[in-house]
């Protein structure tokens, strides 16, 4: 493989957090470049050249500029055959993708900074409007996810006994749920899996508080 990878990320970005977990589990060393969403750095031309959607994360790796966290995780899974981020069987892969998409394509997009800023402005509200929006969509989305985990293939992790792509989506989403005060205490399967993941160094080292740049 080529030069050291560079992850363009933001400490509190849950999509970036997913990729940090995957890179850490593989033991891949990478440099991190902080793109400050609050300072709108993701809309600057230099970042738009890396990621035309103006989002984080972007991973520069193997001579390519890669966007979309799940596509990045699947790339890593394909080039590191022992990664095990997706199961070996098609039905298992379908399930892990469905779980991952339930977060990354249902909950996450409506809770994105650009979306919530716009909706808060339209509603003429302030931070409490944003927080109420977050609590609603994260709470409803994770309740549905909890029901999806009521399945014989759920184990210590979302799918079986090893961490995979669905766990990389779940842990950051629960971080966000806690941040915004979404009611998730009664989601027993989710809480057990997240507690388990949090004991693993690769997950702990990817936590926003561990990667937050000094002021
Ligand atoms: N589907 C994309 C989502 C990326 C995304 O929305 N990133 C957020 C941070 S978690 C972002 O850059 N938001 C900027 C904004 O909303 O203006 C992925 O998985 O990479």
Whether 190 and 97 map to the same domain: the answer is yes
**CA-to-CA distance for 33 and 215, rounded, in angstroms?**
15
Query: What is the model's pLDDT at position 68?
Result: 98
Whether 128 and 169 map to the same domain: the answer is yes
Mean pLDDT of 71-100: 98
State the closest ligand 1 atom to the C-alpha of 112, by its place in the atom list counted from 1. 16
Final residue of a domain: which of 83, 103, 138? 83
Q: Is the pLDDT of residue 133 over 70?
A: yes
pLDDT tens for 3-55 read 899 999 999 999 999 999 999 999 999 999 999 999 999 999 999 999 999 99
Q: Is the pLDDT of residue 173 over 80?
A: yes
CA of residue 43 to ligand 1 center, whole Å: 12
Q: How many domains does the chain have?
A: 2
CA of residue 45 to ligand 1 center, whole Å: 17
State the closest ligand 1 atom to the C-alpha of 13, by its place in the atom list counted from 1. 10
Mean pLDDT of 82-105: 98
DSSP string spanning 42-54?
GGSHHHHHH-TT-
Q: What is the domain-level CATH number for residue 17?
A: 3.40.30.10
Whether 34 and 125 map to the same domain: the answer is no
Query: What is the model's pLDDT at position 47?
Result: 97
Query: What is the model's pLDDT at position 215?
Result: 80
Range of the domain at 144: 90-203
CA of residue 108 to ligand 1 center, whole Å: 8
CA of residue 53 to ligand 1 center, whole Å: 9
CA of residue 135 to ligand 1 center, whole Å: 18
State the closest ligand 1 atom to the C-alpha of 43, by its place in the atom list counted from 1. 17
Please indicate, yes or no, if residue 215 is contained in any of the structural domains. no
Burial class (CB in 10 A: 0-12, 13-18, 19+), 148: middle
CA of residue 56 to ligand 1 center, whole Å: 5
Q: Give ligand 1 pocket residues (Cβ under 6 A).
A: 13-15, 37, 42, 55-57, 68-70, 104, 112-114
Query: What is the model's pLDDT at position 1?
Result: 54
Query: What is the model's pLDDT at position 141?
Result: 98
Whether 94 and 181 map to the same domain: the answer is yes
Whether 104 and 136 map to the same domain: the answer is yes
pTM to 2 decimals?
0.97
Whether 11 and 53 map to the same domain: the answer is yes
**CA-to-CA distance for 126 and 69, rounded, in angstroms?**
30
Mean pLDDT of 81-87: 96
Mean pLDDT of 96-124: 97
Q: Which of 15, 65, 73 to mutate to test the pocket of ligand 1 (most atoms within 8 A of CB)?
A: 15
Q: Which of 8, 56, 117 to mutate to test the pocket of ligand 1 (most atoms within 8 A of CB)?
A: 56
Query: What is the model's pLDDT at position 105?
Result: 98
Final residue of a domain: which of 83, 118, 144? 83
Protein residue with least CA distance to atom 17, ligand 1: 114
Query: What is the model's pLDDT at position 3?
Result: 86
Whether 24 and 54 map to the same domain: the answer is yes
- Average of per-residue pLDDT values in the chain: 97
CA of residue 68 to ligand 1 center, whole Å: 8
What percent of the chain is modeled with pLDDT above 90? 97
DSSP string spanning 158-210?
SSTTS--HHHHHHHHHHHHHHHHT---TT-HHHHHHHHHHTTSHHHHTTSHHH
């Amino acid at each position: 493989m080529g030069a050291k990878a560079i992850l363009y990320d933001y400490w509190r970005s849950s999509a970036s957090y997913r990729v940090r977990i995957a890179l850490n589990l593989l033991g891949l060393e990478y440099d991190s470049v902080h793109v400050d969403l609050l300072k709108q750095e993701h809309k600057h031309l230099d970042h738009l050249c890396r990621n035309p959607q103006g989002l984080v994360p972007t991973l520069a790796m193997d001579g390519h500029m890669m966007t979309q966290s799940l596509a990045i995780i699947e790339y890593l899974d394909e080039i590191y055959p022992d990664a095990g981020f997706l199961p070996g069987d098609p039905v298992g892969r379908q399930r892990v993708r469905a779980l991952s998409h339930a977060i990354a394509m249902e909950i996450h997009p409506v809770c994105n900074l650009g979306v919530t800023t716009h909706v808060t402005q339209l509603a003429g509200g302030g931070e409490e409007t944003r927080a109420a929006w977050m609590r609603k969509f994260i709470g409803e989305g994770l309740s549905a996810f909890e029901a999806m985990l009521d399945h014989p293939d759920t184990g210590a992790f979302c799918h079986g006994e090893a961490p995979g792509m669905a766990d990389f989506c779940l842990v950051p989403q629960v971080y966000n749920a806690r941040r915004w005060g979404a009611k998730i205490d009664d989601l027993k399967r989710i809480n057990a899996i997240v507690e388990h993941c949090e004991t693993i160094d690769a997950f702990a080292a990817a936590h926003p508080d561990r990667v937050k740049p000094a002021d």
